[in-house]
Structures are given as C-alpha cells and as structure tokens.
C-alpha cells in the first residue's frame, strides 16, 4: 500500500477536537489508556494463540515497553501483542468502536469544561494520546503476517490520517507520541513510573521501562541520572485478583473497578475471594454506586468477565450470574474450565453452575452485610437496585428467603423505603396474623387509599408497594417466616382476631339489611362490577374497589395496559360503606342509577384509575350539581 490520506469518521473528528482543544483536568490518563490497549492486544494474542501457536513467532513473553526520547520529544509505548493489519489500522484507528467511548460521547454536554472533566474520568482510548501529543505515529504488524506487511499510521489529530505499508520485524504495535511543547514534563522516568503505578499496576503483563543509574561525574562534580539499556519491570504485573487481599489497597480495587466498568465513580462495595473445593475459582465482584440507564433491560450485557487460568476468555459472561444480578461487575477466573470454552458450553457446564451459585451467594452476603452494618450504603444500594433485586423472587427460588429478608418498603406509618418484613413482623399487633400490604401507583395514592381506612383506625401498619415489579414479585412470595402476606385490596377484609365481635355482627347485619339495595346496585353496575357488597373496611369513604384473592390488582392491570402489554380484564368488586351518608342517600333516591355509577367511578378515581367513560362521569356529576 502506498501512502494514503484518509478522513476520520465524523464522530472521531468531533472527539479529537474536544481532546485537543479543551482544558484537561487530568492529562495523565493518556498513558493509562494506551497501556490498557497494549495489554488488550496481548490478551488477544494469548487467546488466538491457544489455537495457533505460530502467532507467537518465537517471542513467547508478552510485555509492554514504555520509553521516551528527550531530544526528539517522543514517548513510545510498544507491545508485542496481536498487532494491527493495514486494514485494522484504517478501521480501528479511524472510527469509534469502544462502548466506553460511545458512552462518553453520549454524555457530552457541549460545555468545554464539563466535557474536559469527563475525559479525565472516562478516558477515550487511543485518542487520549492527543491530549499530550500533536502528532501520533503508530507502527504495527499483525501477528502471523509477513514482515513486509507492517503498517505505519500517523495523524496530527485533525481531520485526517495517513497510512502506508512498512517493513517491521517485531510483531505488535508501537505508539509514538510526538509531545506538544507544554507536555515535556512527561519526558521523565519518575513521572511516567508514578502514572503507571497509579493506573496500571494491576495490568497482568509486565510493563517495562529503561533503568536509570547514577553516572559518575567528571572532575569530582556530582553525577546525574542517566538511562541505561537495561529494562526493568515497573508494575506489579500480576492480575489484581490473583494477588492476596492484604496486598491490595482500596484505591487499587477502585481503580480496577473503574477500568473494567467504564464507571467514573468508585463502587459501593466489593468482594474478593478465592473459592476452593470441587470447583476452584477466584471471584472479584463489585456493586456499582449508581444504576446504569438501561438497568431494566433484562437483555443487557452482564458485567462479569470470564478468565480461565488468567487468560481472558470473554466479556459479559451471562451464565455466571442470574439475570436479576445484572448490575454486578467484576471478574471470575476459573481453573476448571477448558480454555476453548464457548458461550454455549458455558450454559451447560457443571462448573459454571457451581460458580454461578457461589457468586450469587457471595453477592447476597455482601448486600446482607450492608443491610446489617452500613445502613446508609444499604439505603443507597436499595434505591438504585432494589427493584431489580425483587425480580429474583421469581427467578431464584433457592434464595427466595434471603431475598425476602432484603426487601424494604414504605408503609402507612413510615415514609422512607425502610421497612423490611422482619421489622414489620416485630411491630405486628397482638392477634394480627398477616402481613398487610397495598399496591399502588404512588406512595401517596397507597397511603390515602380508602382500602386502608380500617387499618388506620385500628393502628395496623400496611406496607406500601409502589414499584412496578412489586405485585408480580409478590406472586412468588406468599409468606414471610411463616406469616402470610395479604393484600388489603384483595378478597374480603378479614382482620381475624383484630376485629371485635360487635363489628362483625354489624357487618353481617348490614349485609342482610341492605340486601335489596345491594342487589339493585349489582344490577345497575353489572357491566362494571362482579359483585357489590357491604364492608367493614371503610371508615370515611363511601365505597372502594377490591378484587378476588387470586386476581390481578386493578393497578397492575392498568399499568400493563399503559405499557402496551396484554392484561386480563379485571372486573372488580364494589364494596360499600353502609354507614356513609352518601350510601344512605342512595336508598329511595330518584337518581339511584346515576349515583350508583358515580359511586363506582369515584372509587376508581380514588385509587388512581380513570372511569371508562370520563365524559359520562362528568355529565352525571354536573347533573347533580345543578
Ligand atoms: P478500545 O481499545 O476500547 O476498543 P480505542 O479507541 O482505544 O478503543 O482503540 C480502538 C481499537 O484500535 C481497539 O479496539 C483495537 O482494535 C485497536 N488498537 C488500539 N491499540 C492497539 C494496540 N496497541 N494493538 C492492537 N490494536 C490496538
């Protein structure tokens, strides 16, 4: 290929403009990004080399070398990884592929200062080089290609780049940064070393730099430091998770998390263990501080990377965790899986099943630990991930009890989402034999719902369930620690021992006394309600709607319909408060039918629903107001 000049993809040009023209809050990150690319290139060689040893070309020891030339004002980062073919160079160094970079681009605000800060947190891969360089040259040869098929790529980071063929003896890539005038501080061993140890210590490959030594001074003058030709390893060069916990600082864990997750914040919690026994593996797992935007997409990529005996196998190894723990990030390194394991094989592997169970248990213990010892962190975890955790009730039967213990709700007596079933049980009234809850669209709607009136009157706490998944999830949890869960909007109200004899008697009497009226209501509302009955559940309201025990609540049916999903037609039961003046007024009223419809529609409104025919409702009310 003779020399060609090509244009960057529009997004790259935009990104480069930002990288080169902004103030950089943290220019050091260029090295982190380039070393990380070099390390990825070595991982790729290792992986392809499993099936094709010839790719190693007699140079089996993989490493990354960082050097600089003070006179030429260049820094060079060289790896002997997979390398780039000519086509790779055009495609990969001219477009944006990386999800992290795309993520970054989507967060740009247009405000230079903000955006520049974002670069520091995210890093934008290869293009970070232009933070410190006004020209970058890449020389590379893909492993296995003839020496004559190397490639030289270069660009000043403006609109275009050049590529040409070159001869290159060594496999792999050299990235040569021609430093800007104001970046000469990086032409310094100590400076580069300190950046490497800050950001790239955990990289599993050795990162080498030329050793410096004191040169003897002349004429009794003190000597100075000078570079020798000897390379030395300047990082720990052991994958972070293979090191002993005690040798890893919290900062190193955080930095590792940020690199694998593209998150700019430190994680909320982490766990690092070596599991021994019939299946052996190391797990290093993190709970992020904030939920990603696509948390509720159940098909979203999982966050755990799989390694087998330190060899990187795949990102997003979905089989390693249940779907409801899709927010967890980290690494699992197994010594029991074959190196050529495929996604399909993973699904069936017994070792994977054991790893999955082990990781799930670990994460649940981590969350339990937060709940027990770090209430603030737990509250923040729950606000971010509580709703997905609930999916586990339907997905992970083996851990249902443990998950149940972790759930928190607001209640009729507590505003914050902090009441667990165990707290609730401890506060139950003498004689109370169920955990009562109500599902509602919002906390306020739940709290003010007519169905709660009798519970309020009797001082019985009711849990408010306002997450979309609550009702679905509770289908899988019928009881907690031997106490049944009972929706206050389903079935007949049965307060058991909490109801006194007089109340029971009054209710029965009402049922017979008002039978003619109830029958008439039933007839008028036959298209809307399956039944009409008198209730003791209401205190101040004239009426409310309930459904039969096994039925879907009216809220859930409404929510599903709004979301465009199919939902069974739920025809509720209208319960009326026979003591209420409005109900009394019904008897003998000339507007019986209209009042009956208004009673029903208002009960629907009270729980956040809408009458089937709002205009008819308005007409009826207006007719009465006149
Ligand atoms: P990312 O590495 O996250 O995909 P970059 O913008 O940093 O994004 O790099 C783009 C692509 O260029 C990489 O995906 C990789 O294919 C290629 N690349 C970058 N550096 C190297 C390298 N040192 N060796 C081989 N390929 C590289």
Three-class HEC string of 260-307: HHCCCCCCCEEEEEEECCCCCEEEEEEECCCCCCCCCCCCCCCEEEEE
Strand partners, 314: 306
The response to whether residue 82 sits with its C-beta less than 6 Å from ligand 1 reads: yes
Does the pLDDT of residue 72 top 80, yes or no?
A: yes
- Domains belonging to the chain, first-starting first, are 4-236 (3.30.565.10), 242-379 (3.30.230.80), 406-497 (3.40.50.11260), 501-625 (1.20.120.790)
Tens of pLDDT, residues 16-54: 888 877 656 678 889 988 998 999 899 899 989 988 999
Tens of pLDDT, residues 249-267: 999 999 899 888 878 899 9
- Ligand 1, atom 18, residue with closest C-alpha: 37
- Alpha-carbon 276 to chain mean position: 29
What is the band of 103 on the pLDDT scale with cuts at 50, 70, 90? low
- Sign of the C-alpha dihedral computed for residues 587, 593, 596 and 598 taken in this order: negative
Q: What are the tokens at 327?
A: 């927010």
What is the band of 183 on the pLDDT scale with cuts at 50, 70, 90? very high
Tens of pLDDT, residues 550-593: 788 877 787 777 777 777 788 899 999 988 998 888 888 888 99
The response to whether residue 65 sits with its C-beta less than 6 Å from ligand 1 reads: no
- Residue recorded with tokens 């009956």: 596
pLDDT score at 207: 96
**CA 481, CA 196: separation in Å to the nearest integer?**
53
- Ligand 1, atom 12, residue with closest C-alpha: 92
Does the pLDDT of residue 99 top 60, yes or no?
A: no
The response to whether residue 171 sits with its C-beta less than 6 Å from ligand 1 reads: no
What is the band of 77 on the pLDDT scale with cuts at 50, 70, 90? very high
pLDDT score at 122: 65
pLDDT score at 471: 86
Strands 463-465 and 435-439: parallel
Q: What are the tokens at 118?
A: 């974002």
Longest dimension (CA), the chain: 122
Q: What are the tokens at 556?
A: 């859930």
Main-chain dihedrals φ then ψ at residue 481, nearest 5 degrees = 50, 45
**Contact at 8 Å (CB) between 331 and 316?**
no
Does the pLDDT of residue 548 top 60, yes or no?
A: yes
Predicted TM-score (pTM) of the model is 0.74
**Contact at 8 Å (CB) between 136 and 74?**
no
pLDDT score at 609: 83
- Ligand 1, atom 11, residue with closest C-alpha: 92
Mutation choice for ligand 1 from 29, 36, 79, 125, CB with most ligand atoms inside 8 A: 125
Compute CA distances 536 → 335, 453, 493, whole Å.
64, 10, 7
pLDDT score at 215: 78
Mutation choice for ligand 1 from 40, 85, 127, CB with most ligand atoms inside 8 A: 40
The response to whether residue 36 sits with its C-beta less than 6 Å from ligand 1 reads: no
- Sign of the C-alpha dihedral computed for residues 534, 538, 541 and 543 taken in this order: negative
- Looking at every residue in the chain, the average pLDDT score rounds to 88
The response to whether residue 349 sits with its C-beta less than 6 Å from ligand 1 reads: no
The response to whether residue 38 sits with its C-beta less than 6 Å from ligand 1 reads: yes
In sequence order, which residues have a C-beta less than 8 Å from that of residue 358 and are 6 or more positions away? 275, 279, 281, 283
| Stated length of the chain | 626
What is the band of 109 on the pLDDT scale with cuts at 50, 70, 90? confident
pLDDT score at 101: 66
Does the pLDDT of residue 100 top 70, yes or no?
A: no
**CA 375, CA 465: separation in Å to the nearest integer?**
21
Does the pLDDT of residue 80 top 90, yes or no?
A: yes
To which H or E segment does residue 15 belong?
helix 10-21
Check residues 275 and 568 and name the one with the higher pLDDT.
Answer: 275
The response to whether residue 79 sits with its C-beta less than 6 Å from ligand 1 reads: yes
In sequence order, which residues have a C-beta less than 8 Å from that of residue 55 and are 6 or more positions away? 45, 48, 49, 82, 143, 144, 171
Q: What are the tokens at 436?
A: 């009562």
The response to whether residue 126 sits with its C-beta less than 6 Å from ligand 1 reads: yes
Neighbours of 386 (CB within 10 A): 19
Among residues 602, 577, 600, the alpha carbon closest in space to that of 511 is found at: 577
Does the pLDDT of residue 110 top 80, yes or no?
A: no
389 three-class SS: helix
Distance of CA 154 from the midpoint of ligand 1 (Å): 15
Q: Which atom of ligand 1 is nearest to the CA of 82?
A: 25
Tens of pLDDT, residues 390-405: 999 999 999 999 999 9
The response to whether residue 67 sits with its C-beta less than 6 Å from ligand 1 reads: no
**CA 610, CA 603: separation in Å to the nearest integer?**
10
């Amino acid at each position: 290929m003779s020399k060609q000049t090509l244009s960057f993809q529009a997004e790259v040009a935009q990104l480069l403009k930002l990288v080169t023209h902004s103030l950089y809050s943290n220019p050091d990150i260029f090295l982190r990004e380039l070393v990380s690319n070099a390390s990825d290139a070595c991982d790729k060689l290792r992986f392809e080399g499993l099936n094709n040893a010839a790719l190693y070309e007699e140079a089996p020891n993989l490493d990354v070398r960082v050097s600089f030339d003070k006179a030429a004002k260049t820094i060079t980062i060289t790896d002997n990884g997979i390398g780039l073919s000519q086509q790779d160079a055009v495609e990969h160094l001219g477009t944006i592929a990386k999800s992290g970079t795309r993520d970054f681009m989507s967060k740009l605000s247009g405000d230079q200062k903000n955006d520049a800060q974002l670069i520091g947190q995210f890093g934008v891969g290869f293009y970070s080089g232009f933070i410190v360089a006004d020209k970058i040259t890449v020389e590379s040869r893909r492993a296995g290609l003839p020496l004559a098929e190397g490639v030289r790529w270069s660009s000043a980071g403006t609109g275009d780049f050049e590529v040409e063929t070159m001869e290159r003896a060594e496999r792999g890539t050299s990235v040569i940064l021609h430093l800007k005038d104001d970046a000469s501080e990086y032409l310094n061993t100590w400076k580069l070393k300190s950046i490497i140890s800050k950001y790239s210590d955990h990289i599993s490959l050795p990162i080498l730099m030329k050793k410096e030594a004191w040169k003897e001074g002349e004429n009794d003058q003190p000597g100075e430091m000078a570079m020798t030709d000897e390379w030395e390893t300047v990082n720990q060069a052991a994958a972070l998770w293979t090191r002993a916990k005690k040798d890893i600082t919290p900062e190193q864990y955080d930095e590792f998390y940020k690199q694998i997750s593209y998150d700019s914040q430190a994680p909320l919690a982490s766990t690092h263990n070596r599991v021994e026994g019939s299946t052996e593996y190391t797990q290093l797992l993190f709970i992020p501080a904030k939920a990603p935007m696509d948390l509720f997409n159940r098909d979203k990529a999982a966050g755990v990377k799989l390694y087998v005996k330190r060899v990187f196998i795949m990102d997003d190894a979905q089989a390693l965790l249940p779907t409801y723990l899709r927010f967890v990030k980290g690494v699992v390194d197994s010594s029991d899986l074959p190196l050529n394991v495929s996604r399909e094989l993973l699904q069936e592997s017994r070792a994977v099943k054991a790893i999955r169970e082990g990781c799930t248990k670990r994460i649940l213990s981590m969350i339990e630990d937060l709940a027990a010892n770090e209430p603030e962190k737990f509250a923040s975890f729950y606000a971010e991930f509580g709703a997905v955790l609930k999916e586990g009730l339907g997905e992970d039967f083996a851990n249902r009890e443990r998950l149940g213990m972790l759930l928190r709700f607001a209640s009729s007596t507590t505003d914050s989402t902090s009441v667990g079933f165990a707290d609730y049980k401890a506060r139950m009234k003498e004689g109370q034999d169920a955990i009562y809850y109500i599902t509602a669209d919002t906390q306020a709607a739940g709290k003010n719902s007519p169905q709660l009136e009798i519970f309020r009157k009797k001082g019985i706490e009711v849990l408010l369930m306002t997450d979309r998944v609550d009702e679905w999830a509770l289908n899988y949890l019928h009881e907690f620690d031997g106490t049944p869960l009972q929706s206050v909007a389903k079935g007949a109200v049965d307060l058991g021992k909490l109801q006194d004899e007089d109340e029971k008697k009054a209710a029965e009497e009402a049922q017979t006394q008002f039978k003619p009226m109830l029958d008439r209501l039933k007839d008028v509302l036959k298209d809307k309600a399956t039944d009409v009955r008198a209730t003791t559940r209401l205190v101040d309201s004239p009426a409310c709607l309930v459904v039969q025990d096994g039925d879907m609540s009216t809220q859930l049916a409404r929510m599903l319909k709004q979301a465009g999903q199919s939902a069974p037609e739920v025809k509720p039961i209208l319960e009326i408060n026979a003591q209420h003046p409005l109900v009394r007024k019904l008897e003998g009223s000339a507007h019986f039918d209209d009042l009956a419809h208004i009673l029903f529609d208002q009960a629907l409104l009270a729980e956040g629903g809408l009458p089937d025919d709002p205009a008819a409702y308005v007409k009826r009310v207006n007719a009465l107001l006149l």
